[in-house]
Structure 1
Amino acid sequence: MTTYLSAEQILDAADLSIEDVHVPEWGGTVRVKGMSGTERDRFEAGFVGNDMKQLPKDKALEYYRARVAAACLVDQAGNKMFRSVGEIKRLSDKSAEALQRVVDVANRLSGLTEDDVEELTGNSEPGQSDSSTSASPGTSDTPSPSSSSGSPRASSRSGKQ
């Protein structure tokens, strides 16, 4: 017999995954937390202009790795470590290999697939880049691609995003 969850059980579930990632380039370990639904919606909304059309590819790629990392890097108490545009810009100046290591884990914990990344950054097949996966523009603690420099790799070393 199947037991179905109640609304209260769903709302009370601790379902955001956290993973510690060793980053030798930075001399230690960082904590990566998957995005909540709201955080991911806000992140994705950063790829849509005021006209609700996807930003041009060059704008979508600006600061991409740093934006993903900033959305998911937390301190030991689970608080975001990078909030301001200035901090995220400085984060983007760090090693691309180190950032990618964090991004790979952040993507996995947040359910961001390679197809999602391609759609967000304008690397998808023609006709697919005209829409966003977010229904509303929202706001974000991370800079929008138009205010943020870096670019995602089409796939990580392991072939996953």
Structure 2
Amino acid sequence: MLTKEQILAVRDLGFEVVVVPEWGGEVTVSEMGGKARDALMEALAEPQPTARFQALVLSSTVVDDGGSPIFTADDIEQLSGKNPEVLTRLVAIAMRLNKIGTKATEEAEKNSEAALSGSSGSDSLAS
């Protein structure tokens, strides 16, 4: 059985390295942890202009090699002024990785239904 230390030490958030020719390099787009996702959902509670929405998503999902966000709240305004095609492309990847949006929701529901239909009916965690 895994220990608390083992669980907390593992980097369990998926990521994707994306080439951004317009920026002359690569960025890493990551899944968000629960805390980051909650903060993003809170920031998006009110409707946002598209560029600001995209900047908020990317500030929560573009990370360094250690998995820490490279952008802060202070960068949102400047980030929202970047090439809209790049922002749109990166946000699409972030939303796919984080299972955010209509298509992701439909896919999750489909996977959930498949898992339920294969269920043993037991409430036990042991097989």
Q: TM-score range by the shorter chain?
A: 0.5 to 0.7
Select which of 49, 54, 74 maps to 2:63.
74
Structure 1 letter corresponding to 2:66: A
Structure 2 letter corresponding to 1:103: V
Structure 1 letter corresponding to 2:18: V
1:43-82 counterparts in 2 under 5 A?
A: 43-48=40-45, 55=46, 57=47, 59=48, 61=50, 63-82=52-71
> Structure 2: which 5+ runs fail to align?
105-127
Q: Which has the higher contact order (CA 8 A, sep 6+)?
A: 1
Are residues 1:24 and 2:24 paired? no
The CA deviation at 1:40 is 0.7
CA contact (8 A) 1:23 1:101 kept: no
What are the Cα deviations for residues 48-104 of structure 1, in whole angstroms up to 9, with x where unaligned? 3xxxxxx2x4x464601111111111112222111033x111111111111112111
Structure 2 letter corresponding to 1:78: G
CA contact (8 A) 1:23 1:29 kept: yes
Structure 2 letter corresponding to 1:24: P
Counting aligned pairs with the same residue, the percent is 35
Structure with greater Cα Rg: 2
CA RMSD of aligned residues (A): 2.6
Structure 1 letter corresponding to 2:67: G
Question: How many residues align structurally?
Answer: 104
- Classify 1:18/1:62 alpha carbon distance in 2 versus 1 (closer, same or farther; 3 Å): closer
Show the counterpart of 1:35.
32
1:82-161 counterparts in 2 under 5 A?
A: 82-85=71-74, 87-114=75-102
Larger helix proportion, structure 1 or 2?
2
Using the size of structure 1 for normalisation, the TM-score is 0.55
